[in-house]
A and B are shown apart, each in its own frame.
Chain A
Amino acid sequence: MLRAERVWVSLDGAKVVQDVGLALEKGDWLGLIGPNGAGKTTLLRAVAGLVPYAGSIRIEGDEVSSLGRRAAARRVAVVPQIPVIPPDTTVLEYVVLGRTPHLGYSGTPGPRDVVAARSALARLDGAHLGDRRLGSLSGGERQRAVLARAVAQDASLLLLDEPTSALDVGAQQQVLELVASLRADGSLTVLSAMHDLTHAGQYADRLLLLDGGQEQASGTPPEVLTEQLIARHFGASVRIVADEEAGIAVVPLRPPVEAEQPVS
């Protein structure tokens, strides 16, 4: 479904992604993890065709860079880390923007596009939000609107860049469960950059650890989420707790500190 080989991306002369490869079959969920600046976002942008790259990125057999903008947008939907939210736009108008790649250059959305937008909202439990203005939504509701726009785009590959970074724990869980349910019928493939390692381990089938733009490890969550790898690449001391019901949890540990000096 998605096959990337020897991908390099340079931004302003810096090699941000170096020789990374990945392969996703239909219905997979691959999580990209790594410290800040590891190249996760840039790799996602390359897959979406938003930055030039060297190497090969094929979606359903076609090279991304040779697809037109509109054709690429019909196959890949992107949920950016910090979406631009026009506050006065209603949720339904916003979700209908997802139909853009299916309309002609000067085309306007028709009844069928409104139906697609409404059903995307309904799949994300947001049918009641349609008439609300984006500026009046909570963080979790807003993220559902953004996801609904991506679903309305009707692409087979969904790219998520830190989809839960601004949300509280309940909303994070809700959003990730919604993505999992979208994937449930097997038609949607997901590639996501994730900060929360526990969530990454719980939701993705496989993980790819990036650091310094290079692949450091890849495999199932238990293979990648190890105390050694996390210490080496994140500089964090953690304990991996494996629980039969919860799966893997990555618990940060406070490093031992010397006795506090009183402030004079």
Chain B
Amino acid sequence: MATAGGLRARLSARPERALRGVSAGWALAATAFVVVSTLLGLALGPVDLGLGAVTREVLSHVPFLGLESSFSGTDDAILWELRAPRVALGLLVGAMLASAGAAYQGVFRNPLADPYLLGAAAGAGLGATIVIAYDPGGGLDLRPIAAFAGAIVGVGVAYLLGRSVGGSGTTTLILAGVTVAAFLTAVQTYVQQQNAETVQEVYSWILGQLETSGWSDVLILLPYVAFSSAVLLWHRRLLDVLAVGDDEAASLGVPVARVRLLVVGAATLGTAAAVAFSGLIAFVGIIVPHAVRLVAGTSYRVVLPLSLAFGGGFLVLMDLVARTVVAPAQLPIGVVTAFLGAPFFAVVLRSTRTVGP
């Protein structure tokens, strides 16, 4: 199929383009995708607010346009107090998971690396499970804090274990991550079995959800995502240099160990903050960066910024599906990302030639 290849040829025709980073065509496409996903996410749901009315309402807040909103008080509340925070959370979580996945794939030179590679998911899962099992219905929702702490501890232990084994190679670190994840998952399963009555709640957390308690969640998450993605973007060219291996990157003047520590640290911090609010949304960190690579180019100067944008928009659309297909009930968003994301990715994969980190 020529579609994806043709798109790639049109939007990033010459190699110099790739040397300069994201082309104007792709910047425009990414912006349009985010805007359209956001408007759809705001307009659609159990109550259809109307795409035109929502656009008008949003634009009425832009000064100098002189547009008047046609919204009633209820519509206004649904839009700004229910949907908008949820869409904003989706944008932040999706952007973070996709860019963290891209960064992990680059720093470990492993196409299957995802934001949970080093034990972040297992740690977050254990943290949330402990809270759900031993503090059900506590006044303060401790799940985000416990999940965040669990993810940081999981990756931290994996990193220290990898370092103590010695060797600066990526394989040692990945094996340490697998070891820590297996152990934490065993503990999590044990806690879950001991408290069988909370199994359903644990599962629905693990499969991911974008329920918010309003703008406060968004405001807590925002600085983490902003800081982490800034660090990742700052290293986007060095990730390209790491593609030739630790040794050659060092001979090209790159302080490999420091770059890896900063990139892994930033990606982990952002991922931990994201899973604290969203649960373990699978697959976004793998399919979004790879889809970007397949259609837009393999340089991290292209992959990282576009993964941020497309990851955010993608998760908003997936959340839209999750809360509308079985309305008024909701599907866990992790189920939707895998159910729709996997076939989509299969199509992208089939329509292109190669795949690599």
Contact = CB atoms under 8 A, between A and B. Distances in A.
A interacts with B? yes
Interface of A: 48, 50, 69-74, 76-78, 80, 83-90, 92-94, 96-98, 100-101, 103, 105-109, 114, 130-131, 135, 153
A74 B21 contact: no
A84 B18 CA distance: 20
A73 B298 CA distance: 25
B247 interface: yes
B254 A86 contact: no
15 contacts: A48-B251, A71-B253, A72-B253, A73-B251, A80-B251, A83-B244, A86-B243, A86-B356, A88-B354, A92-B16, A93-B240, A100-B241, A103-B237, A108-B237, A108-B301
A161 to B, nearest CB: 11
Given A88-B298, A97-B241, A78 B356 contact: no
Contacts of A85: 244
B15 interface: yes
B248 A106 contact: no
A109 B19 contact: yes
Contact of A97 (B14, B16, B252): B252
Contact of A74 (B14, B250, B253, B301): B253
Contacts of A135: 354
A84 B240 CA distance: 13
Interface in B220-245: 234-235, 237-238, 240-241, 243-245
A114 B16 contact: yes
A89 B234 CA distance: 21
Contact of A84 (B14, B248, B250, B255): B248
Contacts of A72: 253
B248 A78 contact: yes
Contacts of A130: 15
A83 to B, nearest CB: 7
Nearest to A91: B15
Contacts of A86: 243-244, 298, 356
A48 B20 CA distance: 30
A77 B16 CA distance: 24
B253 A69 contact: yes
A101 B243 contact: no
B99 interface: no
B262 to A, nearest CB: 10
Contacts of B20: 108
A87 B247 CA distance: 18
B271 interface: no
5 A-B pairs with least C-beta separation: A73-B253, A101-B253, A84-B245, A70-B253, A78-B251
